[in-house]
Chain A
Amino acid sequence: MLPKLDHNAAYIFAIYGLGAFGMAAMTLSIMLKVRAARKEFERMENLDKS
């Protein structure tokens, strides 16, 4: 399953892992922040209507 790499395999996996983790963490953080912003906007809009 894992690719057969030379003695630097750990460095290579660390680089790919860091890339995946960095992008996933940024995605999650933005999604949570944006969800909160949308909810707040919807709350204010409902307040407008009521």
Chain B
Amino acid sequence: MGMFSYLSNPMRFMRFSRIAAPVVAVLGVVMIAWGAWQGLYIVPKDEVQGGDIMRAMFVHVPSAWLAMGSYTGMAIASFVWFIWRHELADIAAKAIAPLGATWTALCLTTGGIWGKPTWGTWWQWDDARMMSVLFMFFLFLGYIALRAAMDTRQKAARAGAILAMVGAINLPLIKFSVDMFASLHQDASVITADGPKMAAVYLTPLLISALGQMCVFSALAMVSMRGEIWTRRAAAKRAKHLSGA
């Protein structure tokens, strides 16, 4: 909590992110590369999971976690803005949205490609897991479009925050969709009440890949937030010039 409080000052955030973003990005790329090397060359194929196609897990599963995690982050940042009107929280929510949309698109497309040889179809329109993730993708796009449609920054932040918070109701639906409804998608095998059901030989590279994607995501979010801070400062200076102050 102390860390968040310290970084809630935009100047401190700029100083911190200038160093942290490249360091975290390099760490993330190294971890993703290690995970991909393990996934493609080292881990044994699992015939129960359809042979080599289970290697898709090291890309698809982290992207799915990141997609949900990013929506959670955007909703929390929106809530913080909504209650305390903290500008950096709004900047964070705005920065997360396109990244979340990208990771959700990655989750949907890689899932579809994995689905074809496994289920015999790219997509199933009445599958609760697929449809709830697709709905989250549209929520990200809707958030971006809604903000862009507003004529002031304050209105954009308010409308976006409300949409992000209301849309968070979709998150438990995504998580529990495979338990509540009949689904082609397999049940959870890592984040379960009884702990991971996966052998360590698969679990370790999966977790490292996920950590790597999280690092890249965080680095990109920090860089994007820096850009938004510069944009807002430039706009403030422009307004000052126009008013002749």
Question: Which A residues are in CB contact (< 8 Å) with B238?
Answer: 44
Please tell me the size bucket of the interface on B. 35 or more
Q: Are B109 and A44 in contact (CB under 8 A)?
A: no
Q: Are B41 and A3 in contact (CB under 8 A)?
A: yes
Contact of B56 among A11, A33, A38 (CB under 8 A): A11
Task: Report the minimal beta-carbon distance from A9 to chain B, rounded to whole angstroms.
Answer: 7
A25 CA to B114 CA in the complex, in Å? 22
Question: Which A residues are in CB contact (< 8 Å) with B223?
Answer: 30-31, 34
Contact of B224 among A16, A22, A34 (CB under 8 A): A34
Q: Are A11 and B114 in contact (CB under 8 A)?
A: yes
Q: Are A26 and B36 in contact (CB under 8 A)?
A: no
A44 CA to B238 CA in the complex, in Å? 7
A12 CA to B59 CA in the complex, in Å? 10
Q: A8, A9, A18: which has the most chain B beta carbons within 10 Å? A: A8
Question: Which B residues are in CB contact (< 8 Å) with A48?
Answer: 237, 241
Task: Report the minimal beta-carbon distance from A36 to chain B, rounded to whole angstroms.
Answer: 8
The 6 closest A-B pairs by CB, nearest first: A34-B227, A44-B237, A41-B230, A19-B59, A37-B227, A37-B230
